[in-house]
Structure 1
Amino acid sequence: MTEPKITQLQPMPDDWQRALAVVAHPDDLEYGCSAAIASWTDAGREIGYVLATRGEAGMDTLEPANCGPLREREQRASAAVVGVSSVEFLDHRDGVIEYGPALRRDIAAAIRRHRPELVITLNHRDTWGGVAWNTPDHVAVGRATLDAAGDAGNRWIFPELGGQGLEPWNGVRWVAVAGSSTPTHAVDATPGLERAVRSLLEHRTYIEALTDEDPTKGRMTVEEYARDFLTRNAQAVADRFGGRPAVAFEVFGR
């Protein structure tokens, strides 16, 4: 029997200078694609982060009023490890983000502020590869980001943004979705993997709470857990990217 041919992933487009990553929570990018971001900032590209929430509902042992500021600090430190200094929070409520015009408007405004050519977000589908159910926050923010990439360029959608000095930006050329079960492109993870591990480790308080709740994860140190998670994910893509560990994206052209 002939072995099925493995569909190879294409290299990510590289003729761009500015990108904006839009996700729901602190740590979403660190679990999803920070090895790629580290490589891009090394190449002199400008990348900003926009988070819909401060992750304030993410830890059962810590009240939201205390959790939100802590996770914001961890996110800013995490972004700095991979060369990102611009980190914004939209202050939607963690756990109950609603897809709709308000979320689209906030993301469209961020796109107009940053004027990126590439927009990055996280898996917007109902499941992670049909195996695990996705969270409503990820679905809402991912879907709204795909839509807002178009909204940002239309002056008659959310015309109030023009009155705030945010002129339309129709320069988004691609939206890249990390964590997709149907990726099309990839970035070699090797140059940025060590910094991706360190970046994830900046979320130490959150990871410690997460691993304490899961006995299978709790058998590892925080360092072992972070390295194992990111290395396994990168290696899982290697057979579709010339044998190289990689970060995969589903890329939608515009």
Structure 2
Amino acid sequence: MTTTQLQPMPDDWRRALAVVAHPDDLEYGCSAAIAAWTDGGREVAYVLATRGEAGIDTLEPERCGPLREREQRASAAVVGVSAVEFLDHKDGVIEYGTALRRDIAAAIRRHRPELVITLNHRDTWGGVAWNTPDHVAVGRATLDAAGDAGNRWIFPDLTEQGLQPWDGVRWVAVAGSSTPTHAVDATSGLERAVHSLLEHRTYIEALTDEDPETYVRGFLTQHAEATGERFGGRPAVAFELFGR
């Protein structure tokens, strides 16, 4: 059986905005691609719906949230991202709806990206593992907000606040999709992706008894090489690309 090859991601853009639910979502999902993009002179900003405060069983949310925020900022810096914003929705109980769409639309208007990135918004990971409600809500709301951001009659209060409509989003790219269509060569960015995920050390140490670097390197390398089988044999990061 012939394996369908993934197409190269578009490269005729300058600004991207990545919108996800939690600290570490991007590092597990696509930071090798982000490293390659920032190397090429593109601007990438991060918006996180939560501070991941419910993510570590042994840490109370009021201690966990600030710690995971610090880890996320350090993690972003490793791949050349300095703009990191938090929307302060509650970790674990994010609700899909107009409030979330409005917050993401506002972020899109602030950053005015051509490419918006998010994480798997479907119910499952590949049909075998159940996705979390936070990922589903933020992914779906991001796909919707890419349109909301350009319509002056949706959330008109944003215009009153000085956030002018932005209809310049050309694509929304979903990382972690089980039906990807495009990919980015991860060769140049993979080592930094490893170090970027390692910045989430507190979370990783709570997640696994394995040595953190062994765990992180194994996870990211395995996924990049598996994706590369559909991308000319090069390590790669896959996306499902929706044009607008």
Which TM bucket (shorter chain)? over 0.9
Alpha-carbon distance in structure 2 between the residues aligned to 1:52 and 1:238: 30
Match of 2:197 among 192, 195, 200: 200
Q: CA deviation at 1:239?
A: 1.4
Alpha-carbon distance in structure 1 between the residues aligned to 2:50 and 2:175: 18
Match of 2:129 among 129, 132, 138: 132
Match of 2:149 among 135, 152, 156: 152
Match of 1:73 among 67, 70, 74: 70
Q: CA deviation at 1:238?
A: 1.3
Matches within 5 A, 1:8-23: 8-23=5-20
Matches within 5 A, 1:90-239: 90-211=87-208, 218=209, 220-239=210-229
Alpha-carbon distance in structure 1 between the residues aligned to 2:228 and 2:17: 26
Alpha-carbon distance in structure 2 between the residues aligned to 1:171 and 1:102: 22
How many residues are paired up? 244
**Identical counterparts, % of pairs:** 86
Q: CA deviation at 1:152?
A: 0.1
Alpha-carbon distance in structure 2 between the residues aligned to 1:117 and 1:87: 18
Q: Secondary structure at the match of 2:163?
A: coil
- TM-score normalised by L of structure 1: 0.96
Alpha-carbon distance in structure 1 between the residues aligned to 2:49 and 2:137: 10
Query: Alignment RMSD, CA only?
Result: 0.4
Task: Show structure 1 runs of 4+ deviating over 6 A.
Answer: none
Alpha-carbon distance in structure 1 between the residues aligned to 2:25 and 2:179: 19
Match of 2:43 among 36, 42, 46: 46
Tell me, yes or no, if structure 1 residue 246 matches structure 2 residue 243. Answer: no
Deviations 1:31-74 (CA, angstroms, capped at 9, x unpaired): 00000000000000000000000000000000000000000000
Alpha-carbon distance in structure 1 between the residues aligned to 2:109 and 2:228: 35
Alpha-carbon distance in structure 1 between the residues aligned to 2:212 and 2:62: 25
Structure 2: gaps spanning 5 or more residues: none
Q: CA deviation at 1:80?
A: 0.1
Alpha-carbon distance in structure 1 between the residues aligned to 2:36 and 2:225: 17
- TM-score normalised by L of structure 2: 1.00
Alpha-carbon distance in structure 2 between the residues aligned to 1:130 and 1:64: 31
Q: What amino acid does structure 1 have at the position aligned with 2:96?
A: Y
